[in-house]
Structure formats: structure tokens, C-alpha cells
Structure 1
Amino acid sequence: MTTLSRLVIARRWWVVGLWVALTAFGAFAAPKATERLTFDFGLPGQPAYETNVDILEAFGSGGNGAPVLLVVGDGTRELPDQTAGAVAETVARAAPKARIATWADDPDLLFADGKTGVVLVYPVPVASDQPYAPALSALRPAAEQLTAELGTPVVVTGRDALNFEEDDTSGSALAETLAGGIGAAVVLTLVFGSFLALMPLVVAAASILTTFAILWGLTGLTDVSFVVQYLLALIGLGVAIDYALLLVTRWREETGNGASPEEAVRSAMSTAGRSVLFSGITVAVSLAALIAVPVPFIRSVGYTGLLIPILSVAASLTLLPALLLILGQRLSWPHRRTTDPESRLWRGVGRFVVRYRWISAVVAAVALIVLALPSFGLRLGQATNDSIAAGSGAPAAAIRVLAGDGPGAGLSAPVEILTDSPESLLPRLRMMDGVGGVASPGQWRSANGEYVVDVWTQDDANSRSGAAVAAEIRDVAEGLGARVGGIPAQDEDFISSVYGSAGWILVAIVVVTFVLLAAALRSIVLPAKALLLNVISLGAAFGVTVWIWQGGHGTELLFDRQPSGAVTVWIPIAIFAFLFGLSMDYEVFLLSRIKEEHDAGHSTDEATVHGVARTGRLVTSAALILFLAFVSLSQIPTADVKILATGLALGIIIDATVVRGVLAPALVAALGPANWWWPFRHRKVTSDD
């Protein structure tokens, strides 16, 4: 750190100029990078995915795409086959080359009373996060026209239809970042009470835009998922501000003690800068572990996750010190807050926790364990129909009536089967318990002679019972020599592919993180304790997420949504990767300050109180900024993104308050001298090491 400090002090204007150029290039590259992002959630090599690819190639639609459903009739009069034909003709004109099935083709698409029917439509998808957007934009007015011509309601519904709004302008990474930035600006203003609040925002902007520039190059080498633009922008905002906040706070402390700006930079870099470096490496390692997951879109999240902390650290350790040297004293106006980083509130918390260490540790641990208990009931899958059918509109009502006397709730996500002999398969499938129906129109035949057969469950395919029946359908079909695709089968393969190798990935993360923290803290006990607390913290985050979304406690109040009934298959590993790294950030901030105070001659108890008092406000402010960023992310209408944002937002708050504010310092105080055991201590370690 000493060498880097000297370089930045001597070449401050060159450093600022370089970052200005990088930021400008990043602003140019960001829109180009987002244009090249992909929307593929594929699993190359997995049987369901490969079957879905073959279905899409042979028929132009379907596979891992859910069908659009047109519910025809109001239950007052029987529907003749001519009505089915009229609807099919109109649909074919509105959505050319779509794959269509009606109750005239397959009676299983007719309600039990014969007065309501369903037309199953697989439009040709486009490369977008809304693959059916063009088709839905054409089908909705077509349905209104049919309603007028036939004198009976025709309602467009289905999973994609309920998630799609023509006038929806949300979901922009720039918009979500701007919303998070506004929240961050408010928090930083309260923390600093001066124009120094601008410094972390400038660092965040530089690191985010520069990361987008690298991402643009990365899209030329590999597929990068559209999901990363949101994670890059909002995680980048939080991480960069975290690091800048720590350094600026330490710089203010040193200048408040009479140090010159240059001396303050050197001191801040040798203390807070060292914490930032190790924190960034730890976050990068945890996120880079996603690269080992054998799923391309998860790997792209890992690549981006590796870049975010590296660029944030680079900007914090070069651009920020240079700006503090050039503008720091000017931006310290109007001195609304003391330069002493100690908080009276957090000093009181620290004293209480140290005095009642065992009580504090037990109460905090019990609270976290209680929060974590729902995670044992975690069920991986897609959101249920009830969850996506929020509100009281006609499309929401239409998808809900599929259950009961309807064809079956599983019609919203059928199992798709490729076979060259449907006549041997259909009777067996129709006899299975829990099957809602089968559709196999004669025109669903490919050029090479294969047929596609749709089978759906009576219960929602994303419910526990529906998923079990879908798995049985797959077993029977594969046993008869057919190939099975569709959403249920691909989700099943995703779970086995990703979580089957999760154990080795977790072991690798734990080992590397332990080594890094041990080297940073010169202790064996502190890293072990930090990893244990991270496990407890993650368990609490998962538990609360499951309790809210899967259990349905507060989804209507907070999000105007029905409970999902499951947590989307990719979300837990994403929550783990991001929360593990971000939580370790706060642990390093706290433990580094405690160790610094202990190395200065304080007892473990005194060092713990000082550490909590001097980092408590910083950690809670940083966590609040991230919390606000994730709240802005939750405004994206997609249920999956809302679930992810919920887990990240609540996980950050739980970790920064209960874990780092109470449990971590209580355990440090309880362990006493054991915290500092380091078997390799042969010489005195200085800040320059």
C-alpha cells in the first residue's frame, strides 16, 4: 500500500485523467454491451434442454417456452367446433407460424361442461426478455375482435402473457441504478454532512461504467446473460460505495486529527485501504466461483461478479485518493458532522454486547436460527399460476379457472415430448393419475417424421404435487423411447446440474476465503468464526425469503402478488454468491478495525468496543445503501427478480445489524485471547506488509 500511495500522490492528475478516459469510454460502451446480452437460460448437454432445442428447430416454437392460452367462452353455452376453427384461423393470422391446438383437435382442451375451451398457442419467440412480445401485441387485439364477432369472451392468458405489459418501461439497468443512486446520495449526505458525499458516487460511477466497457469485450468472447446488467449496476453501486465510504471516513478521521491531506491518504491507504483490498478479493472469489457452475448464464454472472469488486477496488485505491488530494478539503464544507468516526449509539451497543457477551450471542444466534428454519422447506421451481396471476383482471381470472372443471392448471407449462410413435405413447399417458390432458394434433409433425406431444398435469406443474406428476410423465415417456422437454423437465435438469455440483463449489469458496482472511487478519480463529457467521446469516436470508415468497407471508402487502409456492431454481445460488461476498465485506471492516485497536495495545474487550463504535455507523450506512438499491431492483415486474431482490435486501440488513452488530462482536469478546492465535507469528507485522 505504501508504494501505491506514493504513486497516486505523485501522479494524482494522471490518475484522474486515466479514470476520466475509462469512464467516458464506459459510457460509450454500456449501451453497446447491453445490446449484445443474451436471453438464453440453456443447459447444453442436458437431455431436456437438447430436446427443447430440437423442438424449437423443428417446429419454430415451444420447447422451454410456455404456451399462450386463449380461453374461449363464459360458461353459459356450449362451444361448437366451428368456434374453435374461427379462433384458430384468427390466431394463425395474428401470429404466423405459431403452433396451435384447439378443443376440436383434442377434447382435453375443453372444460367438463363443454361451455369453455382453450386454444393452445406456441408463438415464434424473439430474442428478448419478453420473447412473445410481438405475438402478444398482435393476439390481444385479435382476441378483442373475436369477442365481438363470436359474441363470447376470448381472453389471452398464460405465464408470459401475465408477465408482459405493452407500456412497461421498467427494467432498465440505468433506471434502477439511478433510483439506487438517489437513495445512496441521501444516506451519504447524512453520513458526511458535506459535499464529500459526492466522492463515493463518483467512484461508483467510474467503476460501474468501466466494468460495462470490459463487459462489452466479454460479450465478444462468450454469451453473457441480460440478468448481469442489473446485478452489475446495483451490486457495483453498493460495493464501490462501501469501499469508498470506508476510505473517505478514515481520511476524514486522519485530517480531523491534524494530518495533512497527503499524510491522511497514506494512513487511510495503509489501514482502510488494506481492508478494502482483502474485502474486494474475497468478494471476487465468492462470485467467481459461479464460473465453475456448468450453466452458461450462471457462468456469465460469475464473470461479471468477478469484475465488479476488482474494478471497485481499483477505483477506490487510485481514483478516490487522487480526488481526495485534489478536492477533499474543498468538499469538506459545510462540516456538518464531526470527523470522529465513533458513534455514540454504536459505542453503547458495543459496550452492552461486550458486557453481556454470552446473552447477546445466544439471543442473536437463536433469532437467526428461527429466521433460518423456513429454509429447510425450500422448494425449487417456477412461480405458480396463483403467484403470477396477481390482480383481478380477465387474464388472471382466466388462468385460475384452468383448475377444477378445467383442463388442468398444468396447462400453463406442459411437458413436451418428441416421439416418432405417438400411438403407443398416448394411451399410457392418458391413464396416469394426475394427468390433466394430452394434446397431439396431426399437424404437430416435423419434416423428419417426429411428433410433438403436449402432456399437462391437473395440478399446477410448479406446485409440489404437479411437479411430482410431471416427473412421472417424464419417466414413462423416456421408458417408451421418447425424448422429453418442456419447462418442468428443464427445471428438473437445472436443479440436478447446478446443485449436484454445489458441494464442491462451496468447499472451494470456504477454503480460499479462509486462507485470504487468515492472511489479512493474522489469525486462525477469526476467519473460522467469520465463515460460521456467514453460514448462519445466509440461512436467515434464505429462511425469510422462503417464508415470504413460498409461504406467502406479506407478498400481497409488499408486492401485490400471490405467493410463488417455490423459489426459482437459479435464485438460491445467486443469493448465496452475492450475500456471501457482501457479508464478508462487513466482517472484514469490523474485524480489521478490532484487530487494529488490539494491535495498538487495547485489550480484546476494549478493542471490540472501539471496533463496533468506529465501524457500526459505516457498516449500517453501507448496508442501507445496498438495501435501497435492492428495493429499487424489486420494482422490476418479473416475479423472479422480485424474489432475488427480497433475499438480497433482507439478507444485507440482517447481516449488518444482528450478525455484525451483535453476534460477531459478542463472540470476539467471548473468545478473548483465542482470537489472536496465529501459528506463523515469527516477527512483528507492520502496516506496510
Structure 2
Amino acid sequence: MDTGVRARDTRKPADEAAGRGRAGAWLARSRWRMLLAGALLTVLAVPVALGAESRMTSSQFVAHTEAATVDRMLDEEFRAGDPHMVVLARAAGGVDAAGTRTAVRSLTTALRHRPGVTQVRSYWDSGHPRGLRSKDGRTGLLLVRLRGGDEDRAARAGEILSLVSDARWGPLRLSVTGEAAVQAALKEQMQHDLVRAELIALPGALVLLILAFGSVVAALLPLGVGVLTILGALSALSGLAAVVDVSVFSLNLVTAVGLGLAIDYSLFITTRFREQLAHGDSVPTAVATAVATAGRTVWFSALTVAFAFAAPLVFPSMRSLAYAGILVTLLAAVVATTVLPAVLALLGSRVTRLDPLRRWHRTRPLTAHEGGFWYRLARAVMRKPVPVALAVVALLTLLAAPFLHARFGLDDDRALPAGHAVHAAGERQRTEFAAAGSAPVTVVLKGFDPSASAPRKALADYARRVSALPTVRSVTTVGGAYAHGRLVDPAGRGADAPYRARAGTWLEVATTAGPYTRPGTRLVQRLRALPAPVAPLVGGAAAELVDTEDELLARMPWALAVIGVTTFALLFLFTGGLLIPIKAIVLNLLSLTATFGSLVYVFQEGHLRWLVGDFNPSGYIDVGMPILIFFVAFGLSMDYEVFLLSRIAEEYAVTGDNGLAVARGLQRTGRLITAAAALFAAVLIALATSGVSSLKTLGVGLALAVVLDATLVRALLVPALMRLLGRANWWSPAPLRRFAGRLSHGDRTHDAGGLSGGEADPRRH
């Protein structure tokens, strides 16, 4: 065990902290006013929060890409492009039977007269399969385009789903899939799953809280803080949605993160309050001490988590999720440090009442130094730090290995449960039609007019070169259809698909490659690099994936810089050491990479499906999900890091003994961190019950990240590395040390949630 200059192991009385805890003292005195204000704000927030979902977009990530521009141009300028809905019409007598044609004409007329429908094309219109006739000849496709943005299309898709479910279409058996139908189904499924997750998470969290607190009264407090936090965040998002696009996915993020952080912050503040009561403090003094110490650490933690959520602001497609994360984090801290102390002041010692398990609870002070499980574990780890560190790093590296062959895509109907009608229709389209698994790529030549002779020849030459590219089946233009470098149909499809308008012209590129495969994305890259009469704009599902990946990769260094610099600065100001923030960031990156590898193993490759709830492996991970999980999990990990470091730094400031400080710090926080992590994981696992695979991935990924952080990292790696680094943990240049000292030791009293010292800092001796 390495030792430094040892200061006397004494502490200032808690009353001294209470004397300086002016905010907590005021809350204790003004408890009724604070509770009345909280109740009034809650009543006002409820109707606004309940209407938040209706103002949000059904897309998970709001796109601002070249592919999105192409889709808008095709819709607004050409009244053409990929269908927003695909209706599968199946008839036992075959697609060419007279009764089938009559029924299809009636259905087509009904669809064309629906509000918002701009185009309906089908196998029966052209009289030629063109990929719109199934292999067995019993199913034909109707391709429907809708007017408006994503939300308008999803709403109209819901109306059309009701239309095609009508039994009046004679011999036809109809089913629907396509982008708009998927968005409508995802939104409905997410709403249903969110309610179910809450019904599962809240009772489960209550049971765990009773076990952690040993009191029903105390256990209800974090749930109350969570409800207030979620209502406030949803109300704020509802107002924000009137100004900017906000993804409906934010609802799930607010619920999971809001409840989890509320439980974390309430757990630490309430535990500190109960400790002070056990030490003989009066109720006002205990409230003031809890707010001045644990409350201070809560705010350091909240700022760290909020800055982690701020990093995604650099990604235009993820800004609404960043807004949601920042809002819910700061609101959790506000409620936990204002309303909760007022309730504690009102309850006083009654906070320990109603312990259904008191017969099994043993009285053991939470602040015990030596002899506790976590103290013994830390000492055991620090006796052999190198083998422990190597073993844990090897295990995390093994878990991370599958991430090396991760594949990415975007949510389609396969994100829905297998039994969902929209998903089933998508599967039928992929298996029964010749173009299964592929999606056309669209190329817009903006401002190009092919009506004159020279431009027409230039367009023909370009179409020939495009049709000769690998994986291209055919290219259709205003001047005809091309395949394998030659003209195969001079008529093209100009009669039923306008390839020319005032804005220019466009080409439809049929391909054998799936949109979320490497050949599909390579085709997009080749099209953008191929010389064209004017600069081409490439769209379609594959182009959307390429654009999203490019945006994420291009902006990721900036996001990492934001999260790295802010985390380093906050942890340095909190501890005064330069190596501690670096170690924390490196360990977080290691554990998160292990989480990503596990997600690839389960959700991309389909292993252990029985363990996480059945889902439909698509062979890829949603491209935005690792980014979202990274920033959320990074912030949550730093939440626990702040609480652990606060206690370790406190002990080191008092004793000057690095090893003893680590052991005592882990003993003081290990139980609380474990309880908080278990509660958070339980809340997140509730999302894993969702039928939407992206929600399931989010829930499992965040729960796994929290568990890995609270066990392997916080309990094993941190003690091992801090033992190896010794007093170097706390080193910093003198000017920085003085600056950090004024901020991190301004309140000269320590507790499980605060960092300050009753004795002179031994680092200055």
C-alpha cells in the first residue's frame, strides 16, 4: 500500500456544513411553499406533457442530407420517386383473372381519391410485370406516393391502412408496407411499448427501492421525483416541438433517463439525509447538510451528464435527442435538490417508516470504513492490481471483438415485431418478388434540360455508363431504358412517371444490391463519382445510409472533443488531479466498446435472442443507435464516477493515503452505486420488452453498459489502476492545483456526495 503524508483522520461536525448550507436551510424553512409550487407546476405540466407526442415527428433521426433533398425534389417537382406505401394485392385466381382486375380497378380509384395521394402505379396499369408481379403470379403490387412531410405521410398511411383492411375488395387479400406505413406502425408501436415499459419499470423499481432503503416511504420519493422530472421534460419538449423538429424517440429517452437519474439523485440525497439523522442531527440540519454536500455532487454529476448529451448537438439529425437528454438531466437535478429536500424536511424521521423487511435488515452503518464487503474487495484488488487489471481488460476486449465487423443500416419494417401486419407484408415483398431485398437508387440532374439534341445525347451517354456499373440492373430515363451499357427500351416509362420537369430531370437506377449492404453503398459512391452532364444528386435508401454515416463520421471528432474536454475539465475541478479524468475517460471508452461488441453479437448476428426477448435480426445495427448509446451511457457512467471519486478524494484529502482512500471511498459508495445501477438497469431493461428492435437495442445496450460500469469498471478496474498510479493520481501543476482547490474544496466538509476537507490538503504539504 502506498502512503503519503497522513493527516489526522477527523472531520468537522455535520452542523458546520449545515451552517454553510444556506440553500438547504432555506428549503427546510420554506418546505410548504416549495411543495405548493411543485404541485402547481405539476398540474400545469400534465396536459401539456400528454399532448407532447402529437407534436413530434415519427422519424428517429431527423434527416438533413442529400438523399433527403432528392426525396423532397422528386415529390415536389416531379411528383414521382420511390413509393411511400406498397399495397400487396393477392388473389387466389391469379393477378390476371378478370375478377381480380375489376377489384383492382375499384381499389385504385378509391386510393387515387384519398386526400394526400399524389400517384398510384401498379402491375395492372402497365400490363407488364416490371417487378410488380410475384413469382407465383398470385400477388401484384400497387405503389402509392403521398403528399407532405414524414408526419403527414404517416398520418395518411394510417388512414389507408384502414381503407385496405375493408372487406369490400372482392377476391383481393390486401396488406401494406413501405416507408410511410412503417413510420405509422413504429409510432403506434412505440406508444404502446412505452406504456408497457412504464407499467413494468415502476413496480420493479419500487421493489428494488424498498430493498435499498428499507422503507416504503423512502422508496416512494425517487419515483415521485422521476414522475415530476418526466412531466417537466415532456412539457418542455412539447413547446420545443412547436419550433423545431423533435423525434418521437425522445419520449422513450426522456422516460428511461429521467426515471433513472431521478432514482440515482434521490438515492444519494435521501441516504445522506438519513445518515445525518442517524448521527443525531436535527431535521433542518440534516436537510441542509444533504443539500450542501450530496446535492453539490448531484449538480456536478448533472453537469457532466448534460455535457455528454450536448455532444450530439453537432449532429443535425440527432439534435432533438440531445435536447431531450439535456432537459431531462437538468430537471432531474433541479427536482432532486429542491422538491425532494422540502419533502424530506416535512417527513423528518418518518422517512424510515413502513419497512416490510425489517426482520431481515441488519443495522450496519453505511459509512463504516474497515471490514465491509467493498472495503475488503478494494484491498484484495489492490494487493494484485496488475493481474486484476489485465483480466478485466482482456474480458472487455473479448466482448468488444464483434464490433470489428459491425454493419449498419436504417430502420425499416424489420424493426417491427414479426407478427405485425406491416412487417409481414414487407417480408412477403422481399421473398415473393424478383427484386426482393433491393431498392432503386434515384439520380436527379438539377437544372438539366434534355429537350435539345446535345443534352439528350449527353443524358443517353450518362445513362449507358450508369447501366454498366456493377450491381445495376437497368436505368430508366425520359429518353428510354438502358441495361448493361445499351438502350433496351426507347419508350422508357415517361408516360406513367414524369422524368422531366422545370427543375431538371432524374433517372431511376434499378439494382440487385440491397440498400444496407456494402454493394449497395458502393453503388451510391460510384454514382456520385461518375462524370455527369451536371453535378448529380443521388437519393434512395442506400444513399440515405451513406449520407447518415458520412455525417456521423465527419462530425464525430467534434462531438468527442466536446465530451472529452468538458468531462476532463469537470472531473479535474472536482478532484484536482490530472490523471483521474484521463483514466475515467479511457475506462469509459473501453467499457462502451465492450457494450457495442455485445450488441453486434446479439442484435446483428441474432445470438441469445431468447435472453433479450425475441426480435427480427436484420443483419445490421441501426446506424444512429451506437452513437446515441455512446453519449447516454458515457454520461451515466460519469454519474457513478463522480459519486465514487467524491468519496475517494475526500478520504485522500483527510488521510493522504491513496490506498486507504480508495478502499474507504469504495466502501462508502459501493453499496449505493450498486443499488443505483441495479435500479437504472431495471428501468432500462423494461425497454427491452418493446417489440421495436431499436428500442430493444437501446434498453439492452444501456442496461449492459450500466452493469459493466458498476461491476467490472467501478469495483475492479478503478481500484487496480488507482493503486498502480499511486500518488500520481492527484498530481497537477501548482497553478492548476490552486485553481482546482478553490472549486473542489470550497466547502471544507466531506460526505458521500460532496468533496471538501476538514483538514489541510496533504497534497500541499
TM-score tier after normalising by the smaller chain length: 0.7 to 0.9
Q: How big is the shift at 1:447?
A: 6.5
Separation in 2, partners of 1:156, 1:221:
33
Name the counterpart of 1:20: 39
Q: Secondary structure at the match of 1:311?
A: helix
Name the counterpart of 1:29: 48
Separation in 2, partners of 1:88, 1:660:
66
Q: How big is the shift at 1:495?
A: 1.7
Does 1:658 find its partner at 2:712?
Answer: yes
Separation in 2, partners of 1:300, 1:29:
18
Asked if 1 retains the 8 angstrom alpha-carbon contact of 2:226 and 2:259, the reply is yes
Name the counterpart of 2:760: none
Name the amino acid aligned to 1:408.
Answer: A
Q: Secondary structure at the match of 1:109?
A: coil
- Cα shift readout 1:425-480 (whole Å, capped 9, x = no counterpart): 76655554424566746222276486665444324322333333454456559667
**Does 562-571 or 584-593 show the bigger shift?**
562-571
Q: How big is the shift at 1:20?
A: 2.0
Name the counterpart of 1:171: 191
Asked if 1 retains the 8 angstrom alpha-carbon contact of 2:77 and 2:503, the reply is no
Instruction: Label 1:127 to 1:537 Cα distance change in 2 as closer, same or farther (>3 A).
Output: same
Separation in 2, partners of 1:438, 1:410:
18
Name the counterpart of 1:315: 335
Q: 2:399 aligns with which of 355, 371, 395?
A: 371
Give the TM-score normalised by structure 2.
0.80
Equivalences, count: 678
Does 1:562 find its partner at 2:579?
Answer: no
Instruction: Label 1:396 to 1:10 Cα distance change in 2 as closer, same or farther (>3 A).
Output: closer
Name the counterpart of 1:68: 86
Does 1:137 find its partner at 2:169?
Answer: no
Separation in 2, partners of 1:232, 1:433:
45
Q: How big is the shift at 1:243?
A: 0.8
Does 1:231 find its partner at 2:253?
Answer: yes
Q: How big is the shift at 1:605?
A: 2.0
Separation in 2, partners of 1:210, 1:77:
56
Q: Secondary structure at the match of 1:54?
A: helix
Q: 2:386 aligns with which of 345, 350, 358?
A: 358
Separation in 1, partners of 2:592, 2:251:
24
Separation in 2, partners of 1:134, 1:441:
30
Separation in 2, partners of 1:307, 1:381:
29
Does 1:293 find its partner at 2:315?
Answer: yes
Instruction: Structure 1: state its 5+ residue gaps.
Output: none
Q: Secondary structure at the match of 2:615?
A: coil
Does 1:260 find its partner at 2:282?
Answer: yes
Instruction: Label 1:159 to 1:640 Cα distance change in 2 as closer, same or farther (>3 A).
Output: farther
Q: How big is the shift at 1:58?
A: 4.0
Name the counterpart of 2:598: 544
**Does 486-495 or 52-61 show the bigger shift?**
52-61
Q: Secondary structure at the match of 2:539?
A: strand
Instruction: Structure 2: state its 5+ residue gaps.
Output: 1-19, 451-455, 477-492, 749-755, 757-765
Separation in 2, partners of 1:9, 1:396:
55
Q: How big is the shift at 1:532?
A: 0.8
Q: Structure 2 matches for 1:521-600, cutoff 5 A?
A: 521-555=575-609, 558-600=612-654
Instruction: Label 1:433 to 1:330 Cα distance change in 2 as closer, same or farther (>3 A).
Output: same
Asked if 2 retains the 8 angstrom alpha-carbon contact of 1:383 and 1:565, the reply is no
Q: Secondary structure at the match of 1:442?
A: coil
Does 1:607 find its partner at 2:661?
Answer: yes
Name the amino acid aligned to 1:376.
Answer: L
Name the counterpart of 2:682: 628
Give the TM-score normalised by structure 1.
0.88
Instruction: Label 1:635 to 1:61 Cα distance change in 2 as closer, same or farther (>3 A).
Output: farther
Q: 1:90 aligns with which of 104, 107, 124?
A: 107
Instruction: Label 1:13 to 1:164 Cα distance change in 2 as closer, same or farther (>3 A).
Output: closer
- Cα shift readout 1:75-126 (whole Å, capped 9, x = no counterpart): x968479956853651441463353333453533156967355414234266
Q: Structure 2 matches for 1:101-116, cutoff 5 A?
A: 101-103=121-123, 105=126, 107-109=129-131, 115=137
Asked if 1 retains the 8 angstrom alpha-carbon contact of 2:85 and 2:181, the reply is no
Q: How big is the shift at 1:190?
A: 0.7
Q: Secondary structure at the match of 2:51?
A: helix
Instruction: Label 1:393 to 1:609 Cα distance change in 2 as closer, same or farther (>3 A).
Output: closer
Q: How big is the shift at 1:240?
A: 1.4
Name the counterpart of 2:698: 644
Q: How big is the shift at 1:586?
A: 0.6
Name the counterpart of 2:751: none
Does 1:501 find its partner at 2:555?
Answer: yes
Q: 1:415 aligns with which of 435, 441, 446?
A: 441
Name the amino acid aligned to 2:471.
Answer: G
Separation in 2, partners of 1:305, 1:392:
32
- Cα shift readout 1:194-245 (whole Å, capped 9, x = no counterpart): 1211121122222222223333332343332222122112211111111111
Separation in 2, partners of 1:133, 1:556:
33
Asked if 2 retains the 8 angstrom alpha-carbon contact of 1:403 and 1:458, the reply is no
Q: CA RMSD in A?
A: 3.5
Q: Secondary structure at the match of 1:100?
A: strand
User: What percent identity do the matched residue pairs reach?
Assistant: 32
Name the counterpart of 1:212: 234
Asked if 2 retains the 8 angstrom alpha-carbon contact of 1:541 and 1:651, the reply is yes
Asked if 2 retains the 8 angstrom alpha-carbon contact of 1:384 and 1:460, the reply is no
- Cα shift readout 1:260-302 (whole Å, capped 9, x = no counterpart): 222322332333222211101101111112222233xx11221
Separation in 1, partners of 2:540, 2:98:
28
Separation in 1, partners of 2:564, 2:443:
41
Q: 1:190 aligns with which of 196, 200, 211?
A: 211
Q: Whose Rg is larger?
A: 2
Instruction: Label 1:186 to 1:369 Cα distance change in 2 as closer, same or farther (>3 A).
Output: same
Asked if 2 retains the 8 angstrom alpha-carbon contact of 1:478 and 1:484, the reply is no
Separation in 2, partners of 1:537, 1:268:
31
